[in-house]
């Protein structure tokens, strides 16, 4: 069991992604590439500079030797410094030089005595020019050669030019270049390690607020299991700009989730209450009928009473199913052109059996259009529920006014009715809650507080604007705004 848990943890670690690790690796990679480019450029620059200094040293040495060569008529006088010559006697790090005139060797360094058959190179050059090239020395080692073709300073222009070639081992140069490379590579590794360490520290510090809110989430879950009240994430005195929206959205989610839970509890209780009453009536009637089967007062109305109760229960279930349908993500609308006159006639026919004085009470105050682009099912259910509510909750036999108004923004349906008592702002906010009923309406057996909930859901599905208002004269109005398609 323990092995399986460890395996699962390892598999999770491999499959999960870490913001901290990704940031550290990304920043390290970016700065690593930049540092690498810089160090390569520095290394290249230092190598070129060191080699140029080495070559310049050889040219300076050649210039010194050239200054020691003089002519006196047809005679050539060479006066090399004794302190300079030992450099061309060493056998451990030998240097070589050779002097020509008219392809005739005038002088060779003592280090060339071991190689009597070998001559140093002396390619053609312009008079007064110096050149440094890479060569293989007589002893087989790699080296650098300075080539000079010149006329001594005190010589006449008719003097035949001299050719001077100096060989010097490049081992010291190579060792120096290797040392520079090692130092640069070590510096690069040290810089990368230091930069990665600092980056890691800064990122860990920067992610502290995220870790804190993660800890708060864990604590919230544990606290929520033990405390039966609304708990929110505290707002710190010094908030982090990037974390503040997360904290705000979490609190908003908690608030809405608590509202949903409360609504669910209330709806469950209301449904139980709405169904419990007719069920209790059915049980009571059945028990009385069983106890007094020969009582004509009970037996004559028993069947009709049971039918009425069943129809009330059916109406509740149908409205609940309609509310669920309007709330479902699978609910689809079909937009087409509707004739409002025909639509209103159908709605009136469906309500006339409940309200015999429907035609006298329902007044079309304004109708600036007779056709509208809308979903027939949604619009029919919305208008029917609003007319039904207005007729039921309005003052007895008071008129119900309907306005169909059009402007540049779209079309608007407004229905108004007179109420006996004012509706408070708090009650208006709760009108669209499922099974919500104003206290004075709770004893009614024909309305269950689902109509406006269905209207709200259908308005949301069709992007209609639903609003409620009431003036000082207790005239209650419901408005449906339909934007132009």
CA 439 – CA 360 distance, rounded (Å): 29
Surface-to-core class of residue 319, CB atoms within 10 Å of its CB (0-12 exposed, 13-18 middle, 19+ buried): buried
Domain boundary at 206, 233, 256, which? Answer: 206
Does residue 269 fall inside a structural domain? no
Q: CATH no. for residue 412?
A: 3.30.565.10
Does residue 299 fall inside a structural domain? no
Cβ partners under 8 Å of residue 437, min gap 6: 444, 447, 448, 449
Burial 62-74 (b: 16+ CB within 10 A, else e): beebbeebebeee
Cβ partners under 8 Å of residue 160, min gap 6: 101, 102
Surface-to-core class of residue 199, CB atoms within 10 Å of its CB (0-12 exposed, 13-18 middle, 19+ buried): middle
Q: What string of pLDDT tens digits covers the 485 residues of the chain?
A: 444 544 554 554 555 677 788 888 888 889 889 988 998 998 889 888 888 888 888 888 888 888 888 877 677 777 765 555 666 666 667 788 888 888 888 888 888 888 888 888 888 888 888 888 988 888 888 888 999 888 887 777 778 888 989 888 888 788 888 888 899 889 889 988 888 899 888 888 888 888 887 887 777 776 666 555 566 777 777 777 777 888 888 888 888 888 777 777 776 776 676 677 778 888 888 888 888 887 777 778 888 888 877 877 777 777 777 777 777 777 788 888 989 889 889 888 888 878 888 888 888 888 888 888 888 888 888 888 888 888 888 888 889 999 988 888 888 999 999 888 888 878 877 777 766 666 544 445 555 556 788 888 888 888 889 998 888 888 889 899 988 76
Answer left, alpha or beta for residue 472, where phi above 0 means left and psi between -120 and 50 means alpha. alpha
Residue holding tokens 């689809």?
332
The strand ranges marked E within 176-322 are: none
CA 322 – CA 316 distance, rounded (Å): 10
Does residue 303 fall inside a structural domain? no
Does residue 379 fall inside a structural domain? yes
Q: Which neighbouring-strand residues pair with 415?
A: 402, 478
202 and 336 assigned to the same domain: no
Q: Structure tokens of 180?
A: 């520079």
198 and 345 assigned to the same domain: no
Question: Among the residues of 292-375, which ranges form H helices?
Answer: 296-327, 340-351, 358-361
Read off φ and ψ for residue 33, nearest 5 degrees.
-65, -45
Read off φ and ψ for residue 82, nearest 5 degrees.
-65, -35
Give the count of domains, the chain. 2
Between β-strands 362-367 and 400-406, what pairing exists: parallel, antiparallel or unpaired? Answer: parallel
CA 377 – CA 461 distance, rounded (Å): 12
CA 225 – CA 25 distance, rounded (Å): 39
Q: Which domain holds residue 387?
A: 332-483
Answer left, alpha or beta for residue 165, where phi above 0 means left and psi between -120 and 50 means alpha. beta
Angle made by CA atoms 138, 144, 146, in degrees to the nearest 5: 100
Residue 106 · residue 136 · CB < 8 Å: no
Q: Structure tokens of 212?
A: 């804190």
Residue 133 · residue 145 · CB < 8 Å: yes
201 and 57 assigned to the same domain: yes
Does residue 347 fall inside a structural domain? yes
Question: Among the residues of 394-476, which ranges form H helices?
Answer: 425-430, 451-462
Domain boundary at 206, 232, 265, which? Answer: 206
43 and 183 assigned to the same domain: yes
CA 436 – CA 426 distance, rounded (Å): 12
Q: How many CA atoms lie within 13 A of 99 on its CB side?
A: 21
Q: How many CB atoms lie within 10 A of CB 400?
A: 20
Residue 213 · residue 243 · CB < 8 Å: yes
Does residue 382 fall inside a structural domain? yes
Residue 323 · residue 453 · CB < 8 Å: yes
Does residue 215 fall inside a structural domain? no
Give pLDDT, residue 190. 92
Domain boundary at 206, 232, 258, which? Answer: 206
Between β-strands 142-150 and 75-78, what pairing exists: parallel, antiparallel or unpaired? Answer: unpaired
CA 162 – CA 103 distance, rounded (Å): 9
Give whole-number Cα distances, 57 to 68, 81, 145, 146, 214, in Å. 17, 17, 11, 10, 67
Angle made by CA atoms 258, 277, 304, in degrees to the nearest 5: 145
Q: Structure tokens of 245?
A: 């929206």
Does residue 387 fall inside a structural domain? yes
């Amino acid at each position: 069991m323990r092995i399986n848990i460890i395996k699962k943890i390892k598999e999770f670690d491999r499959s999960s992604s870490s913001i901290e690790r990704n940031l550290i690796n990304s920043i390290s990679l970016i700065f690593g590439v930049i540092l690498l480019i810089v160090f390569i450029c520095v290394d290249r620059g230092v190598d070129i500079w060191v080699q140029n200094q080495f070559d310049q040293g050889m040219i300076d040495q050649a210039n010194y030797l050239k200054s020691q060569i003089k002519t006196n008529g047809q005679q050539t006088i060479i006066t090399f410094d004794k302190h300079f010559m030992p450099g061309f006697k060493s056998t451990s790090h030998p240097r070589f030089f050779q002097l020509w005139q008219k392809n005739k060797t005038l002088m060779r360094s003592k280090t060339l005595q071991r190689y009597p058959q070998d001559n140093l190179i002396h390619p053609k050059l312009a008079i007064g020019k110096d050149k440094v090239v890479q060569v293989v020395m007589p002893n087989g080692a790699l080296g650098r050669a300075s080539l000079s073709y010149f006329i001594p300073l005190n010589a006449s222009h008719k003097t035949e030019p001299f050719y001077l070639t100096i060989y010097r081992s490049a081992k010291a140069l190579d060792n120096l270049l290797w040392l520079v490379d090692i130092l640069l590579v070590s510096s690069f590794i040290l810089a990368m390690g230091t930069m990665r360490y600092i980056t890691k520290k800064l990122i860990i510090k920067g992610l502290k607020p995220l870790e804190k809110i993660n800890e708060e989430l864990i604590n919230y879950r544990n606290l929520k299991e033990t405390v039966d009240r609304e708990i929110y994430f505290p707002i710190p005195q010094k908030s982090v700009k990037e974390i503040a929206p997360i904290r705000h959205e979490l609190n908003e989610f908690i608030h809405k989730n608590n509202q949903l839970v409360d609504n669910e509890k209330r709806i469950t209780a209301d449904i139980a209450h709405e169904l419990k009453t007719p069920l209790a009536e059915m049980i009571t009637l059945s028990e009385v009928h069983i106890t007094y089967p020969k009582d004509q007062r009970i037996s004559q109305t028993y069947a009709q009473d049971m039918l009425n109760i069943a129809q009330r229960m059916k109406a509740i279930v149908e409205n609940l199913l309609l509310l669920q349908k309007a709330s479902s993500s699978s609910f689809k609308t079909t937009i087409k052109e509707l004739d409002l006159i025909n639509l209103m006639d159908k709605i009136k026919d469906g309500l006339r059996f409940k309200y015999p004085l429907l035609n006298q009470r329902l007044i079309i105050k304004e109708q600036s259009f007779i056709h509208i682009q809308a979903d027939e099912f949604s619009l029919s259910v919305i208008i029917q529920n609003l007319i039904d509510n207005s007729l039921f909750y309005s003052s007895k036999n008071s008129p119900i006014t309907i306005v169909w108004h059009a402007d540049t923004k779209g079309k608007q349906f407004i229905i108004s009715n007179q109420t006996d008592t004012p509706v408070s702002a708090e009650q208006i906010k709760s009108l669209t809650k499922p099974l919500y009923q104003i206290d004075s309406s709770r004893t009614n057996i024909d309305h269950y507080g689902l109509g406006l909930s269905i209207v709200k859901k259908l308005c949301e599905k069709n992007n209609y604007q639903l609003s409620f208002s009431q003036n000082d004269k207790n005239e209650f109005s419901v408005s449906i705004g339909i934007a132009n398609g």
